[in-house]
A and B are shown apart, each in its own frame.
Chain A
């Protein structure tokens, strides 16, 4: 129940800014066109492996949509702001676990972004591009589960980033660095098998592929749903990290005075 109330409040609050967000959606679709143009230019005179020229366009297009579920979350789940205003002390005292509260709110954000950003961009690409569509219900379901796991893993990562605000005033930079690494190691622009070996190695041992690479390959029918085991493992591991860090946060809180 609490989950529904908190998520719904965030969703409804976002509805107030639909107009401004529409411009944002246009900008996001433009970014997608930029990345697709890079691959389209390369595909004119080289084969692109198992993806092919049409496949790579669908790969980048779906990744661009997925960003709104798996990457563009509230910066550090808003913890930095709470530390700045002192509100974090109150939030830690509430009878609900801090991680659970913030996660509920963020699911509302993700739901809004899915409806007002993911779907419009996806629909636009489906109309103007030769976008691949899965034919089986199983693939659609597996993609949905992969996206849910991507959203959850991203929430955990943002919680860990936000929590560092208790010890440093510069945690917002970690959000942007995380975003930069995400674009490189999640397979967002370049499929992981085309990364140089050392980077591919780091990527395979990180949680980033669960955000873009795994969901998109499942969507394109290039990977089986069993690859989701890795995402589940990362979700469990990051949840343990978040719970452990919250314990540490509750021991001593220094706020910036509001």
Chain B
């Protein structure tokens, strides 16, 4: 385990060094990602500025939900970018090369094409800071909410990683998984960028029970922002993220044992 982590750290740094050989590309892609993310938030902000609130959720609260999810995603995609891009490895047969390496396949995959998501991180921290300071001024939350928010972001990153890994594992049977990722990662994440209470019950059920991405921001947000539910919501959130992560590792190991190369 320790050896795997050490190797991951080494390969992670090597990947950053290789990316930094193309500095312009690196900064250009970072700025573009930030622009995309800001425009996504603008869509939500414009609606809330025009109509005041959405099912009782203010702009500051919605900003918290949006930025917490943004930061969790940036963290997940920074440490495990190519887990999301596994399809190209499966289609081209490139995964065979990783199987020959003297390190776990997952570590090798995670450490390739590391993408530091500066743009998303700065944008996320900016929106989070503005949202939280507004809520603090209004007396809705206190200083304690800062460490709790950090906890929610970290737990959310683990949860998103677990969902991403389970989806990636499906690729061992399906090979092409972009369409599946469209549902489990993109649609689910887009849905919880907005307060979940706006959705019909069946959709809320999916986002909490089947693809539990609601635990990345909305569910813990109920406690951190509003004191609804009880303190137990945070340990529950972490437990769900941890349990799903362990399940994802088991599923990954099983899927890898069933891997058949495309031979291309």
Chain A residues with a Cβ under 8 A of chain B: 20-21, 23-24, 26-27, 30-31, 33-34, 37-38, 40-42, 44, 46, 168-170, 173-174, 176-177, 179-181, 183-184, 189-190, 194-196, 199
Contacts and interface: CB of A to CB of B under 8 A. Distances in A.
Interface string B26-59: 0011001101100110110011011100110000
B89 interface: no
The binding surface of chain B is classed by DSSP as helix
Given A46-B51, A196-B46, A41 B198 contact: yes
A41 B196 CA distance: 11
B194 A170 contact: no
A7 to B, nearest CB: 24
A189 B179 contact: no
A23 B42 contact: no
Given A37-B198, A40-B198, A194-B46, A181 B39 contact: yes
A42 B101 CA distance: 54
The binding surface of chain A is classed by DSSP as helix
Nearest to B37: A180
A30 B176 CA distance: 20
A194 B179 contact: no
B35 A180 contact: yes
A134 B51 CA distance: 29
A24 B51 CA distance: 32
Contacts of B43: 183-184, 189-190
A118 B262 CA distance: 32
A33 B203 contact: yes
B180 interface: yes
A40 B55 CA distance: 10
B182 interface: yes
Nearest to B190: A34
B187 interface: yes
